[in-house]
Amino acid sequence: MVNFRPVLFVIGLVLSKIALFMYVPTLVAFFSGTAGFLEFGQAVLITHMVAFICLSVGRTTRFKLSVRDMFLITSLVWTIASAFAALPFVFINHISFTDAYFETMSGITTTGSTVLSGLDGMAPSILLWRSILQWLGGIGFIVMAVAVLPMLNVGGMKLFHTESSDWSDKSSPRAKTVAKNIVLVYLTLTGLCLIGYMLTGMNLFEAINHSFTTLSTGGYSTSDGSMNHFSNGAHWVATLFMFLGGLPFLLFVSALRKRRLDELFKDAQVRGFTILFLASSVVISSWLVIRDGYSVLDAMRVSMFNIVSVVTTTGFGLEDFTAWGALPTTLFAFLMMAGACSGSTSGGIKVFRFQIAMTLLNKQMMKLIHPSGVFVQRYNNRPVNDDIVRSIIAFGLTFFITIIVIAGALSAMGLDPITSISGAITAVANVGPGMGAVIGPTGNFAPLPDAAKWILSLGMLMGRLEILTLLVLFFPAFWRR
């Protein structure tokens, strides 16, 4: 059976940290004299009280987590944290809890879908809170991808098992060092992004918010116009740091330790992601120059921005790429699902799964040519065992089944096919905007029925947790002794 006391204790710890981060927008509201001080104060008090109860009930002298406990904690932490982080939206924006939970789940999973409009005139405290949620979700997923998912062998993530994935006492000092270095890299890149934005004309508040949501590949903005509201220079800064947010953060740590930037490009994932990004940019840029008469520089800027925004599942808006014609729309539909690198802040299927699928295809073709031959499947100069291949196949199957089921449910509610299919894809892949007039780059998710928002919230959570982590909880065998 699941040991619920440690589970409650971890939930209490997470809620206490959520409450602490709520103090930041609370102070912003107080010192700026704008809305939100009392409302955030209420949210802080409620969250602290529940955190204290969970910590008190869950405190134990023997704190040992089994794999089953880790599955439950990973799912419950994101679900419950979103419920309490949604309180400021209810208190300040006076929206329903359904809308508030959708907005929070979208933020903390760094999806970027929104039900809010009128951002340009919204209280600074709530705008900052949205950005903080995405920033926390980004670093939270990096830690989960490095330390938790490889240990749970979810979706082939065991391929990236390192000492930081081992929770034994022997390697815990090493794991803590790796975690600290990842946080340091995350903070440094956030700071550099902030400076870059300020140099391109953003004020301090805009730069802070957008640096949080750029590096976390979240996509929330302080303006309804998203990045259309800012200068061309800001678009280039965003493109650079969205790309960096799509790279494995463990490689950043390795590159800094060895003082060699070429460490990044020794990784097959990084090379594959870079090739995908550059090749797609060349295709779309050429299309815009030839078909729509863009200048070469403008075509590069808008194509590279939108491609990296979609493939890293950031979701920033810059022009409406669905109006560029059939070829770009088809390519973007694939890029919405592709994702960037494992161990980054991005969602989606991830590049490494496509690469391993190609090595599997190559192995199968060689077996057809040489039936008696023995071929070892390798990735990043490491052998890929059958356990990892099975895990990747299971993930791929459930990924597409989840999209089909969610799209079917949305269609049953009366939503049009474009909205249903792109909404399902954008939720499970954690992209942000969908396609079509309702939820496309120039729309939002507010017009959708409440039931659709709850289904999409579940889809966002499943996508962020690599689907199988959450799905395993619905199997009766999970709860048996």
- The residue assigned the tokens 């960096």 is 244
List CB contacts of 307: < 8 A, sequence separation 6 or more: 277, 280, 281, 284, 332, 335
pLDDT in tens, 400-409: 999 999 999 9
pLDDT in tens, 206-224: 999 999 999 999 989 999 8
Q: How far apart are CA 259 and CA 280, in angstroms?
A: 31
Identity at 118, one-letter amino acid code: G
* Mean per-residue pLDDT, 162-174: 50
344 burial type by CB count under 10 A (0-12 exposed, 13-18 middle, 19+ buried) = buried
What confidence score (pLDDT) does residue 284 get? Answer: 94
Return the structure tokens found at 127: 């705008």
Helix 124-143 / helix 97-108 crossing angle, nearest 10 deg: 50
User: Measured at the alpha carbon of residue 22, what is the angle toward residues 17 and 23, in degrees to the nearest 5?
Assistant: 105
- The residue assigned the tokens 């979700």 is 137
pLDDT in tens, 277-298: 999 999 999 999 999 889 999 9
pLDDT in tens, 309-325: 999 999 887 888 878 88
Q: How confident is the model at residue 172 (pLDDT cuts 50, 70, 90)?
A: low
Helix 4-32 / helix 67-85 crossing angle, nearest 10 deg: 30
* Mean per-residue pLDDT, 187-206: 96
Q: How confident is the model at residue 71 (pLDDT cuts 50, 70, 90)?
A: confident
pTM exceeding the 0.85 threshold for the entire prediction: yes
Residue 245 backbone class (left: φ over 0; alpha: ψ -120 to 50; beta: rest): alpha
Q: Largest Cα–Cα distance in the chain? A: 77
Q: How far is CA 376 from CA 191, 362, 373, in A?
A: 44, 11, 10
| Element (DSSP H or E) covering residue 359 | helix 351-369
Q: How confident is the model at residue 170 (pLDDT cuts 50, 70, 90)?
A: very low
- Computed on alpha carbons and rounded to an integer, the radius of gyration of the chain in Å comes to 22
* Mean per-residue pLDDT, 65-88: 90
Say yes or no to pLDDT of 257 above 90: no
- More confident position, 315 or 236: 236
Say yes or no to pLDDT of 147 above 80: no
